[in-house]
Chain A
Amino acid sequence: MLPLILLLACRHNKQNTPKKDWTLYRKAYAFLNHQNDSAFYYFNQLTVSTKDSAQIAMAFDIMAMIQSDAGDHYGAQESLTGALKYLDENRLADQPTLSNVYNELGMSSTDLKNYGQAIKYFDKAYKFSVDSNWTVTILNNKGLAYQNQGAYKVALDIYRQILPRAKGADRARIMTNKATAEWLKDTNYPAAAELRVALTLWQKENDKWGLNSIYLSLVAYYEKVKPDSALIFAKKRLTIASELHSPDDKLEALTALIKISPPYTAKSYFLSFQKLSDSVQLARNAAKNQFALIRYNVEKSQADNLRLQKDVAEKRYQLFLAVSLSVFVVSGLSFYFWWRRRKMRLQQELAIRDSEMQVAKKVHDGVANGIYQLMSEVEHGLLTDNEELADKLDLLYQRSRDISYEKAVVASSAFDRQLSVQLRAFGGQNCHISLTGNSPELWSGVPDVIRQNLNYILLELMVNMKKHSRAANVLIKFEVTDHLHINYSDDGVGLAPNVRFGNGLVGTENRIQAMGGVVTFDGGPGKGLKIAIIIPL
Chain B
Amino acid sequence: MITSVLIAEDFESTTISVRKTLDDFRIEEVRFVYYCDDAVTQLKKSAYDLLITDLSFDEEADRPQQVKDGEALISAARALHPALKIIVFSGTAKPFEIVRLYEQLQIDAYVPKGRRDAQKLKEAIEAIQKGKRYYPPDVRQMMRQQTGHDFTVYDITILSQILKGKTQKQVADHLHQHQISPSSLRSIEQRLKEIRDSYGFLKNEQLIAYCKDQGII
Contact = CB atoms under 8 A, between A and B. Distances in A.
Interface string B122-160: 000000000000000000001001111111110010000
B100 A421 contact: yes
A424 B148 contact: yes
A405 B103 CA distance: 20
Contact of A432 (B92, B94, B148, B153): B148
Given A398-B114, A414-B104, A434 B94 contact: no
Which residue of A410, A425, A427, A477 has the most chain B CB atoms within 10 A of its CB atom? A425
Interface string B87-106: 00001101111011001100
Interface stretch (A66-74, A355-363, A435-443): A435-443
A397 B114 contact: yes
Q: Is the interface of A mostly helix, strand, loop or mixed?
A: mixed
A376 interface: no
B147 A431 contact: yes
Contacts of B80: none
A475 B94 contact: no
Interface string A138-167: 000000000000000000000000000000
Interface in B138-188: 142, 145-153, 156
Interface in B67-113: 91-92, 94-97, 99-100, 103-104
Contacts of B91: 397, 401
A417 B71 CA distance: 14
Contact of A420 (B94, B147, B150): B150
Interface in A399-450: 401, 404-405, 408, 410, 414, 416-418, 420-422, 424-429, 431-436, 438-439
A425 B103 CA distance: 14
Given A397-B114, A418-B100, A473-B214, A428 B92 contact: no
A210 B95 CA distance: 127
B115 A435 contact: no
A432 B200 CA distance: 10
Interface in B197-217: 198-199, 214-216
Nearest to A405: B94
Contact of A421 (B96, B147, B198): B96
Given A417-B100, A422-B96, A489 B148 contact: no
B216 A433 contact: no
A408 B96 CA distance: 13
Interface string A440-477: 00000000000000000000000000000000011101
A435 B149 contact: yes
Contacts of A499: none
B146 A424 contact: yes
A377 to B, nearest CB: 17
Contacts of A414: 100, 104
Nearest to B156: A436
B20 to A, nearest CB: 15
A422 B94 CA distance: 10
Contacts of A428: 145, 147
Contacts of A89: none
Contacts of A78: none
Contact of B150 (A401, A404, A431, A438): A438
A390 B156 CA distance: 51
B157 to A, nearest CB: 12
Nearest to A441: B153
B146 A390 contact: no
Nearest to A491: B214
Nearest to B112: A401
Contacts of B152: 439
Contacts of B100: 414, 417-418, 421
Contacts of A186: none
Contacts of A424: 145-150
A488 to B, nearest CB: 12
Interface in A468-522: 473-475, 477, 489
Given A401-B91, A473-B214, A432 B146 contact: no
B148 A425 contact: no
A417 B103 contact: yes
Nearest to A410: B97
B115 A421 contact: no
Contacts of B145: 424-428
B214 A434 contact: yes
Nearest to B149: A434
Contact of A436 (B103, B142, B216): B216
A437 B136 CA distance: 30
A421 B103 contact: yes
Given A418-B100, A422-B96, A425-B142, 20 more contacts: A391-B115, A397-B114, A414-B100, A414-B104, A417-B103, A421-B99, A424-B145, A425-B99, A425-B145, A427-B145, A431-B147, A432-B147, A433-B147, A434-B150, A434-B151, A435-B149, A435-B150, A475-B214, A475-B215, A475-B216
14 contacts: A390-B115, A394-B115, A405-B92, A405-B94, A408-B94, A410-B97, A417-B100, A417-B103, A421-B99, A421-B142, A424-B147, A424-B149, A427-B147, A432-B148
Question: Which A-B residue pairs are the 8 nearest by beta carbons?
Answer: A394-B115, A433-B148, A427-B147, A432-B148, A420-B150, A421-B96, A435-B150, A417-B100
